[in-house]
Structure 1
Amino acid sequence: MKNFKNLFLFFVVAMLAVVTAACSNADKTENKDAEKQKTGSETAKGEEISGSIVISGSSAMQPLVLAAAEMFMDENPDADIQVNAGGSGTGLSQVSEGSVEIGNSDVFAEEKEGIPAEELVDHKVAVVGMTAAVHPEAGIDNITKEDLIKVFTGEITNWKELGGVDQKITLVNRPDSSGTRATFVTFALDGKTPAEGITEDSSNTVKKIISETPGAIGYLAFSYFTDDSVTALSIDGVEATDENVQNGEFPIWAYQHSYTKGDPTGLAKVFLEYLMSDEVQTNLLPEQGYIAATKMKVERDAEGKQTDK
């Protein structure tokens, strides 16, 4: 009888061991499956982030997104983020078509004809100020809005008419697809169409041409005024500064939108969350010449109406 009891106890212990091992293996399998589903995303600190995405659009926004992408990839070497420019229209078109995961724009999607804005999700990453940029030897650093319109519509053709040097004015514009152009035309030129001049796809190229062409004038985001190669113009005596944009005194500014087709997933979702993190919003944005949207004392809607927050 004693032997029977010992045999029974041995059998019970053995069965418990089998059940425990089976449960443990099942948990491991579930964890592995969950990890596979997290490819390209991260929900907990320390988990591996991998995958690749392509971002295109606004050249005014490119320096910020490129810098953030490089920081992100340094921290996550298995992630690959390609950042292209091409203009806001290009970014909106490509994200709408699904050829890129994120489309950057200086303007609301609703402002661009032919863009299915209802299919896109807007992520307002930052605010950027813009102003007219002139060759350093033009002889002026301030211009009235009225005269600025006259310059860009071809009514004023020499800087001496504004108290500057005796030098013919050369206009440098962005193409119609550019969000920087749209913002400048709307808020600096009151909707007036610029006269013919040099047209360049990239803000980097615009800056280079202005710096190398006596008499040249164009327009750039604040983030491009990093040296003395071009001069940023004050408008009606108001300096082109972050503070003046934030309090609503300087009129030429735009949200920096990152659009996704539907709600973002995977690496696109994680990277957009990174763009809104303190690391980017508090540190990188001001370093790169951008303004955190949360610091704005005024706001704008898709129709361009500005109101106090």
Structure 2
Amino acid sequence: MRKVLLGILLAGVLAGLGCGWAAAKKQPAQSKVTVVGSTALQPLVEAAAEKYQRDHARTSIIVQGGGSGTGLSQVQDGAVNVGSSDIFADQQDGIEHTKLQDHIVAVAGIAPIVNPRLGIDNLTLDQLHQIFTGKVTNWRQLGGPNLPITVINRASGSGTRVAFEQTVLRPGEHAVNAQEQDSNGTVKEIVANTRGAISYISFAYVNSRVQPVKLAGVAPTAKNVMTNRWPLWSYEHLYTKRRPDAATKRFIRFMQTRRVQDSLIKDANYISIHDMKVARTPDGQISERR
């Protein structure tokens, strides 16, 4: 009788262990998605990642800056899951864009900014061109105070710089030799503390510490970007390998949903991809969006 009872107890224990193993097998594995690149896009991806992880506790999303060039090269090398970029991959030297998959998740407006104490809030596109090519070097030449112009440019790997120069400079031209910074936040702080400074940052970084500059009376607003009335803007891309893993695809699809585009994207001062009335090619050609 004792042997029978022991056999029953042992069978029960083994059955319980079997159920535990089966339950463990059913648990989804922990997934990690690493996003590296554009500092203009970084705050938006961070906000989206935080929101996404609330409902997907087993997915860890790590977001870092470094610039568009860094993001593109790292995703191409397989070092990260996603390379975030303000430019098309085929605009970046050393990138084999045919091996990557483009996922456009937002549009970023780009605003020229000056120090609020400068007293200038409006320029023409030609004046902006003269400033960034070094043809104008004192604010007095543009109706401002007798003060040297301090140009703060973005680093060469910056997608924001590529988008800005594609509109402001002419083919074959180069920007004036100037101080370079690799993040929107650093640029903003320098301009906020330098009376004669001028630079450009993503709409998402504009606040009362700097003065956004109109172009021929047109204000840098989302509404004006949608129709290209404000010409300084860039697509925000998440680049992956041609066949990204499931966790990466789910997160990118989440960012492209109408629900996220109509809330999180706009709250972060980006423009929804669904609201754009125009489209832009890598070489800067504009057409009506179908």
TM-score (norm 1): 0.83
SS of the residue 1:256 aligns to: strand
Query: Over residues 232-268 of structure 1, what are the superposed CA-to-partner deviations in whole Å (9 max), with x where a residue is unaligned?
Result: 1111221111111101211111110000011222321
In the alignment, the residues of structure 2 paired with residue 247 and residue 291 of structure 1 have an alpha-carbon distance, to the nearest angstrom, of 12
1:147 aligns with 2:131: no
SS of the residue 1:214 aligns to: coil
Q: How does 1:284-303 map to 2 (within 5 A)?
A: 284-303=264-283
Match among 189, 193, 198 for residue 217 of structure 1: 198
1:194 aligns with 2:175: yes
In the alignment, the residues of structure 2 paired with residue 85 and residue 279 of structure 1 have an alpha-carbon distance, to the nearest angstrom, of 25
1:256 aligns with 2:232: no
Cα displacement (A) at 1:68 = 0.9
Cα displacement (A) at 1:32 = 6.8
Q: State the match for 1:166 in structure 2.
A: 146
Q: Structure 1 regions of 5+ residues with no counterpart?
A: 1-24, 40-49
Instruction: Give the conservation status (yes or no) of the 8 Å contact 1:148–1:189.
Output: no
Query: Over residues 54-93 of structure 1, what are the superposed CA-to-partner deviations in whole Å (9 max), with x where a residue is unaligned?
Result: 1111111111111111222233333221111111111100
Q: State the match for 1:206 in structure 2.
A: 187
SS of the residue 1:103 aligns to: strand
In the alignment, the residues of structure 1 paired with residue 120 and residue 141 of structure 2 have an alpha-carbon distance, to the nearest angstrom, of 11
In the alignment, the residues of structure 2 paired with residue 170 and residue 234 of structure 1 have an alpha-carbon distance, to the nearest angstrom, of 19
1:229 aligns with 2:209: yes
Please tell me the residue identity of whatever aligns with 2:103.
H
- Give the percent of matched residue pairs that are identical in Structure 1 and Structure 2: 39
In the alignment, the residues of structure 2 paired with residue 152 and residue 248 of structure 1 have an alpha-carbon distance, to the nearest angstrom, of 21
Q: State the match for 1:136 in structure 2.
A: 116
1:80 aligns with 2:82: no
In the alignment, the residues of structure 2 paired with residue 144 and residue 190 of structure 1 have an alpha-carbon distance, to the nearest angstrom, of 15
Cα displacement (A) at 1:166 = 2.1
Instruction: Give the conservation status (yes or no) of the 8 Å contact 1:128–1:221.
Output: yes
Please tell me the residue identity of whatever aligns with 2:268.
Q
Query: Over residues 181-232 of structure 1, what are the superposed CA-to-partner deviations in whole Å (9 max), with x where a residue is unaligned?
Result: 000000123343211221111111111111111111111111111x210111
TM-score (norm 2): 0.88
Q: State the match for 1:12 in structure 2.
A: none
In our comparison, the structure showing a higher alpha carbon Rg is: 1
Cα displacement (A) at 1:167 = 1.7
Aligned length in residues: 271
SS of the residue 1:161 aligns to: helix
1:183 aligns with 2:163: yes
